[in-house]
Structures are given as C-alpha cells and as structure tokens.
Amino acid sequence: MYGAWRDGYTEWFGTEIKSYRHPQGWQGILRYADKGDAYAVFHVFDGSPGYECSIGLPEDSNYKVDEIYSDRMEEVTLAGNRLSYKPRENWKAVAVYLKKQ
C-alpha cells in the first residue's frame, strides 16, 4: 500500500476547476503503485448530483475493486478499463482501492 505513495505515479481527471473558492464539477485522482495496485479518489463539488464521474484505466490493466471508502455506501463500478462513480449529492468524496489481478 505505501509503495503507491512513495514510488508510484498520479493521473488527474475531471472538470476544469475555474474557482477554488467556489468549485463546481468533480475531480478524480488515480495513483498507481509501481508493482500493480492503484488507488482512486473522487471529489464532487457543487453542481448537479446524478451525473457520472469516470476515470479511464490503462488498456492492459486488470483490476478489481477491493475496497470502497466513504461515509456511506456509494455506487462505484468497474467495467472493462473504466472506473465510474455516480454521486447522489454534492460535496462528496469516495476513495477506491483497486487490486491488481
């Protein structure tokens, strides 16, 4: 787990944040460990809940969702090389541990 933070690399996704004082939309961060596992974090700001936040994984990746971390049950799906989160309200965050298979 700690190797992802020390030795991994990061990709950023989401809508362009035009104001950090009043952010709208969402942002996603995907952190890869050198030896396989990955961590994703979704932050949803002001906007319309119900839209889907989606992060593309590398074509050759083979992950499974191992853990989902949030303050309540959240809808996170992994289909092929696409990790998606469908927030039900604004100002939410969810973290996902992706285990390499």
Where do the domains of the chain lie? 2-100
Which percentage of the chain shows pLDDT scores above 70?
92
What value, to the nearest 5°, has the Cα angle with vertex 48 and ends 42 and 54? Answer: 35
Residue that wins the pLDDT comparison between 78 and 6: 78
- CATH code that applies to domain 2-100: 2.60.40
pLDDT at 60 (0 to 100)? 83
pLDDT of 95 > 90? The answer is: yes
Q: Which helix (H) or strand (E) holds 12?
A: strand 9-14
Tokens of 15: 């809508």
**pLDDT confidence band for 72 (50 / 70 / 90):** very high
In this prediction the pTM is: 0.86
